[in-house]
Chain A
Amino acid sequence: MSLATTAVAEPTLVLGGDSGALHWQTGAVRGETYAERTVLTHVDTPAVLHVEHGRLRRGPGYAAAPALVRRELARTGAILRLRERGAYVVHASGVVDHGGRAWLFIGNSGSGKSTLAFALARRGWRVLGDDGVVLRPAVDGTLVAHGWRDPLRVSAALCGIFPELAPLAPLIDEQDERRRVPADVPFAARAPVAACICLEPGGCDGLARQSETAAMAALIVQSPWVLLGDAHAPAHFDALRRVASTVPCWRLVNTDRQLHDIGRTIDSLRS
């Protein structure tokens, strides 16, 4: 009888701590979290943003920092504020089907979240976000995905596949290693969650139902703020549990074929 399997979380947060504060880092943003406040700094630029009692307050260097630095600090600050209000960001893209239900694509950077969201937007689906959606349990028990108002960006390398991207090529952000362009797509504000699809890039397409425990593990990795272990962690953890236990999840190993086939793939899941 085998009772337990163990896995080590691979959070995008890197954490440490001492008696007074929890030290962590995600991307280029470092955080020091105390009981009721967090100090955010940036690894590249001496800029500070405070998160105190649900409010953001600019610290030294923030106003003079480059726009990208301010945006990264503000995004992290917003994620922390949302947690205090019972809303939890998941590293996912979200698209709303013609029936008004949200499909979440979760996965690491480069797994295909944005391009599949764009491929569905071309079929008339509306986009909630391409690099993050906000989950908030509704009063009636349903889970609602809210949009994250970043523009959807897709790789300029897809211009050959999606001709409408070609005129946008001059808009490539040269500081972006992935050379993406902002795509013009219809957005949605919110929708109840219909399903989640865990993406993995691979050599051949494959689709399989994800077990609830596997889906929960994937959600923890893609919503690493739960690992902060603060007073909001139990509610955050429970929101992820509700996704894993109430929403069907699939694992999709995807190749470029899905840029054309994702609509049919989802139709097959709905049937």
Chain B
Amino acid sequence: MTCFRLTSRALAATLSDGAVLLNLHTKRYFSLNETGTRVWTHLQRGTRAEPIIATLLAEYEVDELEARRTVLSLLDELVGEGLVERVECS
């Protein structure tokens, strides 16, 4: 089973309107809106994608297909930028 967790090269600042992420290796920074920051909060604990999708379904007016698509898309993006990594979990 695949889990997602933050990499050691990521710094994050959680702010009132979102978050700013900084990759210390690539020197690129990113901003997340409020919803993206909710996803990021999950990732700080290390998690599978399913609990994140469930949170968005519970907290936002979005259908499951859309929630799954956007969460998986963001996770792919964060993995591609080296801010998050995939690890095996039980």
Contacts and interface: CB of A to CB of B under 8 A. Distances in A.
A10 to B, nearest CB: 10
A5 B32 CA distance: 6
Interface stretch (A49-57, A78-86, A142-150, A227-235): A227-235
Q: Which bracket fits the contact residues of B?
A: 20 to 34
A102 B31 CA distance: 27
A212 B16 CA distance: 7
Most buried by A among B20, B32, B36: B20
Given A226-B22, A229-B9, A4 B16 contact: no
A211 interface: yes
A116 interface: no
Interface residues of A, number: 29
Contacts of A128: none
Contacts of A15: 27
B17 A211 contact: yes
Given A1-B56, A3-B70, 7 more contacts: A212-B16, A227-B27, A229-B24, A233-B24, A237-B22, A240-B13, A245-B13
Interface of B: 9, 11, 13, 15-20, 22, 24-25, 27-33, 35-36, 39, 56, 60, 62, 66-67, 70-71, 73-74, 77-78, 81
